[in-house]
């Protein structure tokens, strides 16, 4: 008996890289896996069913069970058809991993609207559409032990030059994770996120990752964290974001400084009705923020 015996897991963007490693990890633990991938290039262009089919064949060769879907998560009908494929074949869904993504890097001043829209559509809109379809399905199934794992990014949480579209989408996924963790809790569904760094097709042109190699930075390390997060082992983990850099696992958190209660007050309260002025705010900045 594995961690996911009898459970149905959907992994989007699982024809290559991190998604493929996640699909294989779930299958190894006994899950019925829905392998979704349009089979396009890393910029989202093109379509080829071979990527998803190859992962399904790999899972079946190892004694597991999987089906392939090749519709796009960025399309309403495409996203919903992925969930329906799981329901039609396995009669239920238990876990959703929102992993599908593309890259169209360019400096913000030179970025075309189409390049912005394409990345936001796959990463953020796609995760929304998949989450909504999955949520509606589990609501019909009734309370259970369900899980969603989203894929945000260090770029989304910290920013990165040349990735305004990608970082905006990934930052949005942080907010989607937090809100879904609140709204879906009543359905018995936990929602968490990972912010991975791994050597895959998406990052193959980064020299440092090339030097570190697959053994240190391969997607298998990310898959292990996702397999844990979606399992009953992590039943008390909800609304959290974990960074995965190879074997290093850590947690991201939004922080709030103590702040200042008013222009004439201190940390214990303001004794004046006077409003802030720009000059007072500048003078109080060392006490308002984290950095002096």
Active site residues: 166
- The partner residues of 194 in beta bridges, in order of sequence, read 151, 242
Using alpha carbons, select from 40, 62, 63 the residue that is nearest to residue 51: 40
State the helix-helix crossing angle for 17-28 and 50-61, rounded to 10 degrees.
Answer: 30
95 with 26: CB under 8 angstroms?
A: yes
**In the chain, which residue ranges form alpha helices assigned H by DSSP?**
17-28, 50-61, 76-90, 113-120, 126-141, 154-158, 164-183, 207-217, 220-229, 278-288
Distance CA 63, CA 208 (A): 36
Using alpha carbons, select from 74, 65, 76, 81 the residue that is nearest to residue 8: 65
Using alpha carbons, select from 165, 152, 170, 173 the residue that is nearest to residue 105: 165
Using alpha carbons, select from 183, 170, 194 the residue that is nearest to residue 122: 170
Q: How long a stretch of residues is the chain?
A: 292
Distance CA 236, CA 49 (A): 37
Task: Enter the DSSP assignment of 269.
Answer: B
- The partner residues of 69 in beta bridges, in order of sequence, read 36
């Amino acid at each position: 008996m594995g961690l996911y015996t009898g459970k149905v897991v959907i992994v989007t963007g699982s024809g290559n890289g991190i998604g493929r490693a996640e699909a294989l990890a779930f299958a190894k633990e006994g899950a019925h896996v829905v392998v979704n991938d349009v089979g396009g290039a890393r910029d989202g262009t093109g379509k080829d069913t071979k990527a998803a089919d190859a992962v399904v064949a790999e899972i079946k060769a190892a004694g597991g069970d999987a089906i392939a879907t090749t519709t796009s998560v960025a399309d309403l009908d495409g996203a919903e058809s992925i969930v329906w494929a799981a329901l039609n074949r396995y009669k239920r869904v238990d876990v959703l991993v929102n992993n599908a993504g593309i890259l169209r890097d360019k400096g913000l001043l030179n970025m075309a609207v189409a390049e912005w829209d394409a990345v936001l559509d796959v990463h953020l809109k796609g995760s929304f559409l998949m989450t909504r379809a999955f949520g509606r399905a589990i609501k019909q199934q009734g309370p259970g032990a369900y899980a969603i794992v989203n894929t945000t990014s260090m770029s989304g949480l910290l920013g990165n030059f040349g990735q305004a579209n990608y970082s905006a989408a990934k930052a949005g996924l942080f907010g989607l994770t937090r809100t879904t963790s609140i709204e879906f809790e009543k359905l018995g569904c936990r929602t968490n996120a990972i912010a991975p760094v791994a050597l895959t097709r998406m990052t193959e042109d980064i020299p440092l990752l090339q030097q570190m190699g697959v053994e240190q930075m391969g997607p298998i390390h990310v898959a292990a964290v996702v397999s844990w997060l979606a399992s009953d082992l992590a039943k008390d983990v909800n609304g959290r974001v974990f960074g995965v850099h190879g074997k290093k696992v850590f947690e991201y958190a939004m922080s709030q400084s103590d702040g200042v209660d008013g222009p004439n007050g201190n940390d214990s309260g303001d004794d004046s009705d006077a409003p802030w002025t720009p000059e007072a705010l500048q003078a109080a900045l060392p006490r308002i923020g984290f950095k002096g």
